[in-house]
Structure 1
Amino acid sequence: MLVLEALFEWISFHWVTIIVVLHIGLSFMTSLHVLLFKENERTSLAWIGLVIFSPVLGSLFYWLFGINRIQRLAKREHPQTLKRDFRSQENPINFHQLPENWHSSIIAGYAINPINYLAANSVEPLVNGDNAYPEMIQSIQSATHYIILSSYIFDYDSLGRQFVKALVQAQQRGVVVKVLLDGIGIGYSWRKSDRALKKRGVETARFLPALSLSGTRFINLRNHRKILCVDGEEAYIGGMNVSKNNLVNAAKHPIDDVHFKVTGPVIDQISQVFVEDWFFATGELIQFPSYNTRNNLDSTEQEKNKTVVARVIQDGPDEHHNRIRWTLINALVCAQKSVKIMTPYFIPDQTLMTSLHATALRGVAVEIIVPEHSNIPFVDWVMEANFMRIMEHGVQIYKNKRPFDHSKIVLIDDVWSFIGSTNWDARSLAFNFEINLECFDRRLNAQLTELFVAKKHNAELVLEEDIKKLPIYKKIRNNLFRLFSPYL
C-alpha cells in the first residue's frame, strides 16, 4: 500500500514531465513512420505537424486514419501456389483485333496490371435498382452450386430483406453461399443484414471489422467492391450497393446508379477478387466454380452479343496499389475524339488532373458529369472550389439536376469503357479496395454514351461567370475544405 501511495505521489509531482516525455517519444516514432512510408510530401508534412502540435492525440489520429497501406499477401501468407494464374502467357501480346491506336495502351496495360484481356464476354448495363435488383435476385434464385456476394453497404431494409430471403432459400436448397460485407459499411443500417443471414445459416464475414485487434489500425481502409457471382455463369459488378434508395421509382430519397450483368470468361477474374478478399477476412480458401464454355452455350442471339474484350482491374491499398490511377492515365493518352466521365465525386489528384488537361490540349473533347448535390455536402464544396482549375484548357463540367447520381463510368472515343466501383477521389484511389472492368466494345460504349447524353440533357453546364459570382463566404468555405481533400 505504501508503495502505491509513493508511486501515486511521484506521478502527481512529475505528471507534466511524464506527458512531455510520452509526447516526445510517441511523436518521434510516429514521425519516423510518416517519413518512411508516406509518399506525398505535402501530406507527410501535414501529418508531422499534426503529430508535433497535438500531443498524443495527433499520433493517435495518425495510427487510426493515416495508415493507408496493407500488405495482404505477406500479412496472411496467401498460398500463391493455389491462386489461379490470370497473367498473360502469350507472346506476342494478343491485341484481339482492336484499333491500332490502342495497341500501345494494351502493351502498357499488361505492364500496369499483368492480367489477360479476354474476348467473348457480354456486359449489360442495368440502370438503377429497379432494373438491377430483380435480375440479381433472379440469378440468386436460379443458383444451383455456389453464390458469392460482396457489398460495401447491405441495408436491412425492405429491399435488403428480399436479398436475405433469396440467399437463405438458396442455402437451404444446398447452394454454398458466402457473403462478405465491409466492417464500416455494415454500420449504415442499424439492423445488421449479416446477423440476419447468420441466424438463418448463411456464412458471412466482415472485411476489416472496425472493432477488432486487426481491423482498428486500418479503420480508414475500406472494401468498396460490389460483386455478385453465381455458379461461375453470371456476375454483377458496378457501383450499386444493396439498398432500397436505389429503387428510383419507390425510394423517398432516390439514388441514380448503373450496375452491370456480366457473362463470359472474365467472370473468373471477378470471382478471384472475392476469393482473395474472403481468404484475407476469414483465412478460408474457397474453390469457386470456373467459367466453362461448354456449360455456357447460349442461344445464337446471345452469342452474338458476346463481343466485349474485358479484364478486371483490381486496386487497393495493398500490392495492387495505384493500378486504377495508372489505367486511367494510360487510356487518356490514347484518346483521339472524346472523353466522357460520370462520377458522384470528382476530386482528382494533380497527376490525373494534369492528364485530363493534356488530353484537352490535344483537341479532345473532355466532358464530366457530377451531381448538383451529392450525399456529402462538404465534398460538393471541395468540387466547387476546384471547378475553375478543372475547366482550364476547355474541360467542360455539367451538374446533374436529377436525384443524387452515384454512377461511375469513363468512356473514351467509341470503343473504351471503364466501369465499376471507383470514384474520382482520394478515398477510392488511395484508401479503398475497388474493382473495375476495362472493356473494349463499340456496342457497350454506344449504350453507355446514350446514357451519358441522356443525363447531360438533365444537367447544367458550369460557367466561369457563375463561379466568379459566388458569395465570398462560400469561396472561403469551399477553399478551406479543399485543403482537406486528400483526407476526404
Structure 2
Amino acid sequence: MQIFEALLEWITIHWVTIIVVFHISLSLMTSVHVLLFKENERTSLAWIGLVVLSPVIGSMFYWLFGINRIKRSAQKKHPQTLKQKLKEDLRYQVRPIEFHWLPRNWHSAIIAGHNIHPVNYLTDNNIEPLINGDMAYPAMIQSINSAKHYIVLSSYIFDYDSIGHQFVEALAQAHQRGVIVNVLLDGIGVGYSWHKSDRALKKLGVKTARFLPAISLTSIRFINLRNHRKILCVDGKMAYIGGMNVSQNNVIKSSKHPIDDVHFKVTGPVIDQISQVFIEDWFFATRELIKFPKYKVNKYQDKAKKTCDKSIVARVIQDGPDEHHNRIRWTLINALVSAKNNVKIMTPYFIPDQTLITSLHAAALRGVSVEIIVPKYSNILFVDWVMAANFSRIIEHGIKIYKNNRPFDHSKIMLIDDIWSFIGSSNWDARSLEFNFEINMECFDTELNTKLTALFDSKKQNATPVLASDLKGLATYKKIRNNFFRLFSPYL
C-alpha cells in the first residue's frame, strides 16, 4: 500500500515530465513510421506536423486513420489457395499480348496496360450505356427477374425507397425460385438507408454481407476505406457496372432531388472479369469462396459475331487500398500519354493530384483538346470549394473546364481520340484513387465512344465554361476559403 501511495505521489509531482516524455516518445515512434511507410512527401510532412503539434491526439489520429492496414494485410486476406485459383482463371492466364484490330499508336499503351494490370483485353463484347435510373433500373430488374441460377449484386448505397423496394422484391422472388443470390453492401454506405435494405433482404431469406463494417468486435475498421463498386451479374450472361447506386434520386422523371448518372449493360466474355471482382470482394468480407457460372457463347450469338467486322475490346481494371493499389491512376496516365486529338472527362468530383494534372497539361501542350465537365454544384459543399481552388491551375495551357448547370451530375466517363473509353465507379479524387475499392472498364470501340461523346456534348450544351477572368474576380475571402480546404484534398 505504501508503494502504491509513493508511486501516486511521484506521478502527482512529475506528471508534466511524464506527459512530455510520453509525447516525445510517441511522436518519435509515429514520425519514424511515417518516414518508413508513407510514399508522398507532402503527405508525410503533413502527418509529422500534426503528430508534433498535436500532442498525443495527432499520433492517435495517425494510428487510427493514417495506416492502410488493408494493403499491409493483403497476403493474409487473399491466401495462396485463392490466388492459385485466380491464376487458373481466364483473366489471369499468361498469354501473348493481342492487339486485335486496334490502331498502332495504341499498341504501346496495351503493352503498358498489361504491365499495370495483368488482365487480358477481350474481344466480342457489347456495352450499352443506360442513361439515369429511368433506363438502368428497369433493365437491371428485368435481368434479375429472368435469372435462373445465380445473381451477385454489390452496391455502395442501397436506399430503401420505392426503387429499393423494387430491387428487394425482385431479389427475394429470385431467391424463392431457387436462384442463388449474394448481395454485398458497403459497411458505411448501407447506413444511408439506416440498414433497412439489408434487414429487409435478410428477412426475406436473401444472403447479404457487409464490406468492412464500421463496427466490428474482431478487428479495427476504418470509415475512410470503402467499397465503392457497383456490380450486378446474372447467370454469367449479362452484367451491369458504372457509378449508379440503388436510389430513387436517379429516376429523374419522379425524383425531388434528381441525380444524373450513366450505367452500363455488359454482355460478352469480359463478364467473367466483372464477376471475379465480386468473388474476391465476397471472400474478403465473408471468407467464403463462391462459384459463379462462366460466360458462354451460344450458337446464335456466335453466328451474329461472325457477321460483324469487329466488336468492343474491353477489360476490367480494379483498384483499391490492397494489392491492386494505384492501378486506375496508372491507367489514366497511360491513356493520356497515348492521346493524339482529344480528351473528354466527365466526373462529379475533380480533384486530381499533381501527377494527373501534369499528365493533362502534357497532353494539352502537345495540341490535344482537353475538355472537362464537372457539376456546378455537387452534393458536398467543401468539395466544390476545393475544385474551385484548382481551376486556375488546371485551365493553363488551354484545358477547358465546364460547370454543368443541371441537377447534380454523378456521371463518370473518360474518352480519348474517338476510340478509347473509360467507364465505371471511380472519381478523379483522392478518395477514389487512394482509399476506395473501385471497378472500371477500359474499352476500345468507335461506336461506344461516339455514343458517349454525344452524351458528353449534350451535357456541355447545358454547361458554363470556367473563365480565367471570372476566377481572378472571385472575392478574396472565397479564395482564402477555397485554398484552405484544398490543403485537405489528399484526404477528401
Which TM-score tier does this pair reach, normalised by the shorter chain?
over 0.9
1:90 and 2:88 equivalent? no
1:85-108 CA-to-partner distances (Å, cap 9, x unmatched) read 4135333x2101111111111111
Q: 1:308: Cα distance to partner?
A: 0.6
Q: 1:304: Cα distance to partner?
A: 4.8
Output the TM-score relative to the length of structure 2: 0.95
Matched to 1:90, the amino acid is R
Q: Which residue of 1 aligns with 2:261?
A: 257
Q: 1:290: Cα distance to partner?
A: 0.7
1:178 and 2:182 equivalent? yes
**More off after superposition, 291-300 vs 324-333:** 291-300
Query: Distance in 2 between the 1:335 and 1:47 partners?
Result: 36
Count of aligned pairs between the two proteins: 487
Counterpart secondary structure, 1:121: strand
CA distance 1:268–1:19, change in 2 (3 Å): same
CA distance 1:384–1:10, change in 2 (3 Å): same
Counterpart secondary structure, 1:86: helix
Map 1:404-423 onto structure 2 (within 5 A): 404-423=408-427
Query: Distance in 2 between the 1:269 and 1:479 partners?
Result: 41
CA distance 1:208–1:295, change in 2 (3 Å): farther
**More off after superposition, 417-426 vs 58-67:** 58-67
Structure 2 runs not aligned, ≥5 long: none
CA distance 1:4–1:129, change in 2 (3 Å): farther
Query: Distance in 1 between the 2:478 and 2:46 partners?
Result: 24
CA contact (8 A) 1:121 1:306 kept: no
CA contact (8 A) 2:215 2:221 kept: no
Matched to 2:378, the amino acid is S
Q: Which residue of 2 aligns with 1:430?
A: 434
CA distance 1:224–1:403, change in 2 (3 Å): same
Query: Distance in 2 between the 1:286 and 1:408 partners?
Result: 30
CA distance 1:347–1:2, change in 2 (3 Å): same
CA distance 1:296–1:375, change in 2 (3 Å): farther
Q: CA RMSD in A?
A: 2.0
Structure 1 runs not aligned, ≥5 long: none
Query: Distance in 2 between the 1:97 and 1:256 partners?
Result: 34
Q: Which residue of 2 aligns with 1:48?
A: 48
CA distance 1:296–1:354, change in 2 (3 Å): farther
Query: Distance in 2 between the 1:306 and 1:6 partners?
Result: 85
Q: 1:333: Cα distance to partner?
A: 1.3
**More off after superposition, 284-293 vs 74-83:** 74-83
CA contact (8 A) 1:209 1:216 kept: no
Aligned counterpart in structure 2 of residue 381 of structure 1, from 366, 385, 389: 385
CA distance 1:41–1:179, change in 2 (3 Å): same
Matched to 1:41, the amino acid is E
Q: Which residue of 1 aligns with 2:330?
A: 326
Q: 1:340: Cα distance to partner?
A: 0.2
CA contact (8 A) 2:364 2:398 kept: yes
Q: Which residue of 2 aligns with 1:76?
A: 77
Q: Which residue of 1 aligns with 2:104?
A: 100
CA contact (8 A) 1:119 1:307 kept: yes
Output the TM-score relative to the length of structure 1: 0.95
Query: Distance in 2 between the 1:296 and 1:68 partners?
Result: 48
Counterpart secondary structure, 1:476: helix
CA distance 1:411–1:16, change in 2 (3 Å): same
CA distance 1:354–1:88, change in 2 (3 Å): farther
Q: Which residue of 2 aligns with 1:36?
A: 36
Q: Which residue of 2 aligns with 1:159?
A: 163
CA distance 1:24–1:263, change in 2 (3 Å): same
CA distance 1:364–1:248, change in 2 (3 Å): same
Q: 1:146: Cα distance to partner?
A: 0.6
1:19 and 2:23 equivalent? no
CA distance 1:51–1:81, change in 2 (3 Å): same
Aligned counterpart in structure 2 of residue 391 of structure 1, from 389, 395, 400: 395
Sequence identity percentage:
73
Q: 1:19: Cα distance to partner?
A: 2.9
1:213-251 CA-to-partner distances (Å, cap 9, x unmatched) read 566343311111110101101100000011111111111
Matched to 1:120, the amino acid is D
1:65 and 2:65 equivalent? yes
**More off after superposition, 248-257 vs 13-22:** 13-22
1:359 and 2:363 equivalent? yes
Query: Distance in 1 between the 2:172 and 2:13 partners?
Result: 62
Map 1:304-343 onto structure 2 (within 5 A): 304=308, 307-343=311-347
CA contact (8 A) 1:239 1:420 kept: yes
Matched to 1:76, the amino acid is K
1:147 and 2:148 equivalent? no
Q: Which residue of 2 aligns with 1:279?
A: 283
Aligned counterpart in structure 2 of residue 445 of structure 1, from 425, 442, 449: 449
Q: 1:24: Cα distance to partner?
A: 2.7
